Amino acid sequence: MSGRRYPGMSPDERTFFTPYSAFDIPQDLREFGGRYDVEAMARRVRNFRYAEEWAMMMVGGWIATIPEVPVKTGLGKIAWECAQAADALGKRLPELRAGRNLNVASESANEGFAQFMQAVAAPEEPEETIEKLVGLFGVLKPHLLDAYEDNGLHTDQITDAPTIELLEDVARRTRRHIAWGKEVLEHLCDTDAKRERARKHEAALRAKLSACGGVTGERG
């Protein structure tokens, strides 16, 4: 191998290294062209953070109202993971030119979604563990998982990579929360009457969620 190792001043003083594009090694198939600009993404992150923050608070509040000890302890961990999700989303906001004050970083997409979250949080009696878990693990979290995955598919794969990676991590934990919740619900809904209770509550919440357009207010 001979030739220049460092470029000189004239065209015939180039180095001998073969040129590669930044996207050739390894081959990068991502393309520009996300659906959301910086401002829109910041708004979505604030919406996601709102959902995670309120999920954390309602789960925390429910622990004392649930008689089943393993459900209490399971929710204790989920409260912390929702908090971590909200925290990570809040830390993304200054990177999207959207302020540094984490206390005001959460924002509901619209009044309807805020009311939906209050409806999910509403069951408070000890007999209502099924309603609590159905709202969180049967409606809210599956919806958030869809929204995070959908966001990952439609945002700019190159310029918005930090949001994608952040939401991939949140989604991974959300999938685990849903699987846990489903297993607990299968155990708790051990009669037709209880399964019917769960189904009715889920349908009512899904209607509210659909009416407000979901966490970002964009889905009918």
Partner 1 sequence: MKRFLQHHELARDSRFIRQNAITDVMAQLPDDVDTVVNAFENLDPMIAAGVKGGPLEPIYEAYGPGFGLSILNEPLRPDEEFAELRLRVRMHGIFMGELQALEGAGRTLWDFPDAPWEFKMNMARQCWDESRHVQIFEKLLTHAGGAVGDFPENTFLFEAACADDPVLRVAGVNRALEGLACDVFRDMINYAEKKGDEVMKQAVDYVLADELTHVRFGSEWVREFTKDDPERFEAAKKFQRQVDKRFSVGGTRSSRTDAVIPIAVEDRKEAGFTEQEISELATISAEGPSRATLRKAAEILRERHLARRAQARRDENAA
Give the DSSP per-residue string, 99-153: -S-GGG----SSHHHHHHHHHHH---SGGGHHHHHIIIIIIIHHHHHHHHHHHHH
| Token pair listed for 62 | 């429910």
Establish if 61 lies at the interface with partner 1 (CB under 8 A).
yes
Beta carbon of residue 103, minimum distance to partner 1 (angstroms, whole number):
5
- Candidate residues 41, 42, 45, 58; the one interacting with partner 1 per rule CB under 8 A: 58
Beta carbon of residue 65, minimum distance to partner 1 (angstroms, whole number):
5
Establish if 60 lies at the interface with partner 1 (CB under 8 A).
yes
State which of positions 26-55 bind partner 1 (CB under 8 A).
53
State which of positions 109-128 bind partner 1 (CB under 8 A).
121-124, 126
| Token pair listed for 192 | 């037709």
Say how many C-beta atoms besides its own lie within 10 A of residue 199's C-beta. 13
| Token pair listed for 196 | 């019917």
Interface residues toward partner 1, by CB under 8 A:
53, 56-69, 72-77, 79-80, 82-84, 87, 90, 102-103, 105, 121-124, 126
